Structure 1
Amino acid sequence: MATLRTLDRGLEAINVISRASDGITVQELATALDIHRAAAYRILETLESRRFARRGTDGNYRLGSGVLAVSHRFMAQFRVVSQPVIQGLANEVGMTAFLSVEDSGEALALAVAEPVAIESLGIRFQVGFRHPLRRGADGIAILAQRPPRDGDSEAVRTARERGYCVTSGENQPGAVGVAVGLGEFDALQIEASVGVIRLGGLSDLSVEDVLPHLDKVRGELRELLVSS
């Protein structure tokens, strides 16, 4: 498939900048893109004019506010297309289903659905609900997708080994949930997890029965991310 070379380089430049936590110099970008320094400078000037990049006082370039605005719009659009998938999951398993994404170090509920055939059982899990990543099946499932670190909790290590996370009573007393991560950030450019939650204890949730449904929905959501 033919691509617009200049546009492709500009988009790749945004990708390169996003990976540089301390910012990136003109020469570093030129090296990463295998282009002349002057060409890298023109790309950065263009990105800066559109607020997709900004130059700091140290001379390094970092992502600009324009990227954040696009990110928020993407999240809104992704929620719309993912909501029917999450609703289908809720109907299949008869529990509250959710899609959570990483946002500023927290797990943010992007889409939530209740099963249509079952009356609400008082699960306090709604769109916009957020909590630290280290707590709750959705947050721990996201952390488990990251490379191992010395400071990983036992819950994260267990979830990484199993491929899923189960928690009880962490974000809502008397509720149990299970979640799986959608995949590594490098593949999707987003950190997310999908899962279900219900009232009860660990013995009330059949993980073996739920996991096939979560695996199927994970694949559907990954397809939506790749095609979005």
Structure 2
Amino acid sequence: METLQTLERGLTALELIANKHAQLTVAQLAEQLQINRTIAYRITRTLTALGYIKTNDNQCLELTSKVSSLHALFEKTIPFATQHVLNWLAKETQSSASLVIAEGPDCVVVKTAAAHSNVIQINYQLGSRLPLGYAASGLAIASTYPASENDSEDIKVARAQGYAYSEGIFQKDAIGIFMPLQGRHMAIGIVHLGKINIEDVVQKLTQATESLNI
């Protein structure tokens, strides 16, 4: 796929600056992007002029508060009560709860919540990706698309029963149960380490999705 190289480099630079937590100089950025320093300076000057980055006292690059406005706009694409619902779901199931969305061929974690307990937990990390059709979260998202002859049996089962289940995909004894949101390429669910009452979780997921489908 043909891309606009300058824009691609600028966005990649922004991601690198964000990930380095104010520990990246222009010279290091040029090295990371495999470009000469002149181009790196042009990119950083542009991002600075637009207000998205600044240079700190250590001559390192860091994000400014302006990026929060982009995040706020993204938040508007997510059901308003999602975090509240995930907090409730995590507490009720004593599990880690997540909202995942489709982005191209991937399923991406955009919201999480964890139960406050001493029970050992396994968590999805914010921003983590996995292929559609893989694990409970990816299966649930895949089931939101029209049926295809290329669908796996697991996707067909998830679409038929209204939720997806997987076990031992990322870690032994780790169980994932995710349910799609109506009319959206999104799903919420839990990841739990050890035995769990599937029927009870599905019932709570139904309550959670119904509250978000309003």
Which of residues 173, 196, 204 is equivalent to 1:205? Answer: 196
3-state DSSP of counterpart to 1:101: strand
CA drift of 1:110 comes to: 1.2
Task: Using structure 2 for the length normalisation, give the TM-score.
Answer: 0.62
Contact 1:168–1:177 (8 Å) recurs in 2 = yes
Does the Cα contact within 8 Å between 1:79 and 1:110 map onto a contact in 2?
no
Encode CA deviations 1:23-65: one digit per residue, 9 max, x unaligned.
Answer: xxxxxxxxxxxxxxxxxxxxxxxxxxxxxxxxxxxxxxxxxxx
Task: Quote the residue 1:181 is aligned against.
Answer: 180
Counterpart residue identity of residue 127, structure 1: L
Aligned partner of 1:103: which letter?
Answer: E
Amino acid at match of 2:103: D
**Shift >2 Å, 4+ stretches:** 70-81, 171-174
Partner of residue 190, structure 2: 196
Q: Report the AA paired with residue 181 of structure 2.
A: L
Q: Which moved more, 1:86-95 or 1:72-81?
A: 72-81
Q: Distance in 2 between matches of 1:71 and 1:162?
A: 36
CA distance in 1, matches of 2:119, 2:106: 26
Query: Counterparts in 2 of 1:128-207, with a 5 A limit?
Result: 128-185=127-184, 191-200=185-194, 204-207=195-198
Percent of aligned pairs sharing the same letter: 28
Alignment deviations for residues 64-120 of structure 1 (CA, whole Å, 9 cap, x no partner): xxxxxx99644334377411210011111111111111112211111111112x136
**How many residue pairs end up in the alignment?**
145
* Residue identity in the other structure for 1:183: Q
What does residue 205 of structure 2 align with? 214
What is the identity, as a one-letter code, of the residue corresponding to 1:218?
T
Structure 2 runs not aligned, ≥5 long? 1-68
- SS, match of residue 126 in structure 1: coil
Which residue does 1:91 correspond to in 2? Answer: 91
Structure with the largest fraction of helix: 1
> Partner residue of 1:112?
112
> In structure 2, the residue corresponding to 1:112 is in which secondary structure?
strand
TM-score, length basis structure 1 = 0.58
Structure 1 unaligned residues grouped into runs of 5+? 1-69, 186-190, 224-228
CA RMSD, aligned part only? 2.2
Answering whether residue 103 of structure 2 is matched by residue 103 of structure 1, we say: yes
| Cα gap change, 1:71 to 1:152, in 2 (>3 Å) | farther
CA–CA separation in structure 2 for the residues paired with 1:74 and 1:172: 35
State the one-letter code of the partner of 1:197: V
